Chain A
Amino acid sequence: MAEAEHTAPIQMEVQLNRAELPLLDSAQMLYAMLDLRSKEALNISRRRLNLALVIDRSTSMRGARIRNVKMAAMDLLETLQPDDWLSIVSFSDRAEVVIPPTPVRERRSFSSAIASLLPRGGTEIYQGLLSGLTQVERHASPDYVNHVLLLTDGRTYGDEELALHATQQARKYGIGVSAFGIGEDWNDVFLDTLARKGGGVAQYISSPSQMREVLREEIQGLSKAVVKSMSLRIEPLAEVHLSAAFKAAPYMELFPCDEGDKTQEIALGGLTAEEPIVLILELVVDPQEKEKKLKMLHLQLEAEDVHLQQEIQIPISLSPEEREPPARLFNFLERISVFRLQEKAWIALESGDAKQATSYLQAAATHLFDMGYRDLAKSAMLEVGRMAKGRTPTGRGRKKLRYGTRSLSIPST
Chain B
Amino acid sequence: MTSKSSQVICPSCGAENLPGTLFCVQCGTYLPSGGPLRTEPIPDQEDEQSARPPRKKEGDAQARAISLEVDVTNSGRKVLLSAEREILVGRLDAAHGIFPELDLTTDGGLEQGVSRRHARIYTRDGTCFVEDLDSTNGTFLNGERLTPYLPYAFQDGDELMFGTMHISVRIHSESERQGSAVAPSAPDEADEADEASEEEALS
Q: Which residue numbers of A lie inside 8 Å of B, CB to CB?
A: 17-18, 21-31, 64-65, 183-184, 203-204, 206-208, 210, 213-218, 250-251, 284, 287-289, 318, 320, 322, 324-325, 327-328, 330-331, 333-334, 337-338, 340-341, 359, 363-367, 369, 371-375, 377-378, 381-382, 384-386, 388, 394, 396-397, 403-404, 407, 410-413
Report, as a range, how many residues of chain B touch the other chain. 35 or more
Question: Whole-angstrom distance between the alpha carbons of A272 and B80 in the complex?
Answer: 36
**B49-71 vs A: 1/0 string, CB under 8 Å?**
11101000000000000000000
Question: Whole-angstrom distance between the alpha carbons of A369 and B150 in the complex?
Answer: 16
Contact yes or no, B19 A26, CB < 8 A: yes
With A25-B3, A366-B184, A396-B199 given, name 12 new contacts (CB 8 A): A22-B5, A23-B2, A24-B3, A24-B5, A29-B20, A29-B21, A210-B94, A214-B95, A216-B95, A217-B93, A372-B120, A410-B98
Question: Whole-angstrom distance between the alpha carbons of A322 and B40 in the complex?
Answer: 10
Interface centre among B3, B184, B199 (most CB of A within 10 A): B184
Top 9 closest pairs, chain A to chain B, by CB: A217-B95, A412-B115, A385-B186, A213-B94, A29-B20, A337-B23, A22-B37, A28-B20, A331-B149
- Kindly report which residue of chain B lies nearest to residue A375, judged by CB atoms: B85
Question: Whole-angstrom distance between the alpha carbons of A344 and B149 in the complex?
Answer: 26
Contact yes or no, B117 A29, CB < 8 A: no
* Contact of A218 (CB < 8 Å), options: B2, B7, B39, B95: B95
Contact yes or no, B38 A322, CB < 8 A: yes
Contact yes or no, B38 A288, CB < 8 A: no
Question: Whole-angstrom distance between the alpha carbons of A359 and B19 in the complex?
Answer: 24
Residues in B1-27 with C-beta less than 8 Å from chain A = 1-7, 13, 17-23, 26-27
Question: Whole-angstrom distance between the alpha carbons of A315 and B47 in the complex?
Answer: 28
* Contact of A413 (CB < 8 Å), options: B39, B41, B136, B148: B136
Q: Inside 8 A of A337's CB, which chain B residues have their CB?
A: 23, 28
Contact yes or no, A284 B122, CB < 8 A: no
Q: Inside 8 A of B186's CB, which chain A residues have their CB?
A: 381-382, 384-385, 388
- Kindly report which residue of chain A lies nearest to residue B132, judged by CB atoms: A412
Known contacts A382-B191, A385-B187; decide if A322 and B39 are in contact (CB<8 Å).
Answer: yes
A sample of 11 inter-chain contacts (CB < 8 A) reads A27-B18, A27-B19, A28-B5, A64-B203, A206-B202, A210-B94, A213-B95, A322-B38, A328-B134, A372-B86, A397-B195
Question: Whole-angstrom distance between the alpha carbons of A95 and B192 in the complex?
Answer: 39
Residues in B106-163 with C-beta less than 8 Å from chain A = 115-118, 120, 122, 124, 131, 133-136, 147-150
Known contacts A378-B184, A412-B134; decide if A24 and B28 are in contact (CB<8 Å).
Answer: no
Contact yes or no, B115 A413, CB < 8 A: yes
Contact yes or no, A363 B195, CB < 8 A: no
- Kindly report which residue of chain A lies nearest to residue B192, judged by CB atoms: A382
Q: Inside 8 A of B97's CB, which chain A residues have their CB?
A: 204, 403-404, 407
* Contact of A324 (CB < 8 Å), options: B19, B49, B148: B49
- Kindly report which residue of chain A lies nearest to residue B203, judged by CB atoms: A183
Known contacts A324-B49, A369-B184; decide if A25 and B2 are in contact (CB<8 Å).
Answer: yes
Q: Which residue numbers of B lie inside 8 Å of A, CB to CB?
A: 1-7, 13, 17-23, 26-28, 30, 35-39, 41, 49-51, 53, 85-86, 90, 93-98, 115-118, 120, 122, 124, 131, 133-136, 147-150, 183-187, 191-192, 195, 199, 202-203
Closest Cβ of chain A: how far from B131's Cβ, in Å? 8
Known contacts A28-B18, A381-B185; decide if A374 and B86 are in contact (CB<8 Å).
Answer: yes
Closest Cβ of chain B: how far from A290's Cβ, in Å? 8
Q: Inside 8 A of A338's CB, which chain B residues have their CB?
A: 28
Known contacts A30-B20, A284-B18, A410-B116; decide if A251 and B96 are in contact (CB<8 Å).
Answer: yes
Question: Whole-angstrom distance between the alpha carbons of A381 and B28 in the complex?
Answer: 16
Q: Inside 8 A of A364's CB, which chain B residues have their CB?
A: 28
Question: Whole-angstrom distance between the alpha carbons of A322 and B41 in the complex?
Answer: 10
Closest Cβ of chain B: how far from A322's Cβ, in Å? 6
Contact yes or no, B2 A24, CB < 8 A: yes
Closest Cβ of chain A: how far from B102's Cβ, in Å? 14
Question: Whole-angstrom distance between the alpha carbons of A210 and B147 in the complex?
Answer: 33
Known contacts A213-B95, A372-B120, A412-B136; decide if A365 and B22 are in contact (CB<8 Å).
Answer: no
Contact yes or no, B115 A318, CB < 8 A: no
Known contacts A372-B122, A396-B199; decide if A327 and B147 are in contact (CB<8 Å).
Answer: yes
Q: Inside 8 A of A407's CB, which chain B residues have their CB?
A: 96-98
Q: Inside 8 A of A207's CB, which chain B residues have their CB?
A: 202
